[in-house]
Amino acid sequence: MKKHNFSAGPCILPHEVFEKSAEAIINFNNSGLSILEISHRSKDFLAVMEEARMLVLNLLGLEGKGYQALFFHGGASMEFLMVPYNLMKVDGKAAYLDTGTWANNAIKEAKLFGETQIVASSKEANYNYVPKIYSIANDASYFHCTSNNTIFGTQMKSFPITTVPIVCDMSSDIFSRNLDFSQFDLIYAGAQKNLGPAGTTLVVVKEEILGKSGRTIPSILDYEKQIKAESMYNTPAVFPIYASLLTLRWLKKNGGIAAIEKINEAKANLLYSEIDRNCLFKGTANIEDRSSMNATFILENNAHQEDFDKMWTAAGISGLTGHRSIGGYRASMYNAMPIQSVQVLVAVMQELENKNK
């Protein structure tokens, strides 16, 4: 039986992506070869890379606006390094918003390259909210933020208006909601949430912001060189990129970001309504900053934990345990999560309440 996968990542993907990926592992494009063994320079894979990059810009509404879509190795953690390497000017500075563990990790890497200003932080409240009042220096090389925080269950609902280039880590909510993506000068995202399996990372960058740092950048870390090589500077992650293409096709076929946003809102509203209604549970993130992707909550009385854990496990639910750093529970509801799985979780929560009346 297929389980209800609430894992934060690697996470659930559309069933048809699994099916088509499985077919390609045996015989890709009727070539008699597996996707796992074809040349990354073959005509078939070059077509995969080209379509995937094109679909990214199409879905984000960035076609013809001076952006390039690239696929890299190294996860979002590599981008923590590549962003300041490419964008922070020598003897310059960058501005960072600290909203959680991954934002903090990005800040640590940026400090290796120059002055890194933390414009605001919610660390003192265990990152249970997103700061909204802060100023960004006009001479900063860029402003960096994390749109969604998987560990603490918060999400930025708006972004600052500034003349400084905006860089956003969208690893856990890319393609999940309508935004004006042209407000961002660089977006990056690990694939393993809403895009594909672990192993590749998407970067979408406005070309005009590049080449201004004054740094000598190692070739493999240089966005300009990667653009020139069309994401083929070295052997790309062939299978994860192919699976990502299948996910992008699935999203496009089903109405794109506008359509999936409505589904995601329905799932989030269903679960948060139960968390707020049920006397046994309590949400951990500020209501106005709650993430539609990752709902974090706790039991009001830990005496119910053993019973609750047995119940959701018996219901076929997987990956509900909160991050090891904060505990509690975390229900990740990425694009491919059907609302029926959320209904199963809500039913278990109600059953626990009924047993303890």
Tens of pLDDT, residue by residue over 99-158, are 999 999 999 999 999 999 999 999 999 999 999 999 999 999 999 999 999 999 999 999
DSSP structure string for 148-213: EETTTTEE-S-----SSPEEEE-TTTTTSS---GGG-SEEEEESTTTTSSTT-EEEEEEGGGSS-S
Predicted local confidence at residue 2, as pLDDT: 84
Bridge partners, 189 (sequence order):
202
Q: Which CATH architecture has domain 255-355?
A: Alpha-Beta Complex (3.90)
Residues ≥6 apart with Cβ < 8 Å to 62: 181, 182, 204
Task: State the CATH class of domain 15-253.
Answer: alpha beta
Q: Mean pLDDT, to the nearest integer, of 302-312?
A: 97
The confidence score (pLDDT) of residue 72 equals 96
Report the relative pairing of strands 93-98 and 143-146 from DSSP bridges.
Answer: parallel
Q: What residues act catalytically? A: 102, 169, 193
In this predicted structure, the answer to whether residue 315 has a pLDDT above a threshold of 90 is yes
Strand 329-332 relative to strand 294-299, pairing: antiparallel
pLDDT at 316: 98
Reduce the DSSP state of residue 356 to 3 states and report it: coil
Instruction: Determine the pLDDT at residue 340.
Output: 98
Kindly tell me if the per-residue pLDDT of 197 is higher than 80: yes
Q: Mind listing the pLDDT tens digit for each residue in 10-68?
A: 999 999 999 999 999 999 999 999 999 999 999 999 999 999 999 999 999 999 999 99
Matching CATH topology for 15-253 and 255-355? no
How many other CB atoms sit within 10 Å of the CB of residue 160?
A: 17
The per-residue pLDDT for 325 is: 79
The residues spanned by each domain of the chain are 15-253, 255-355
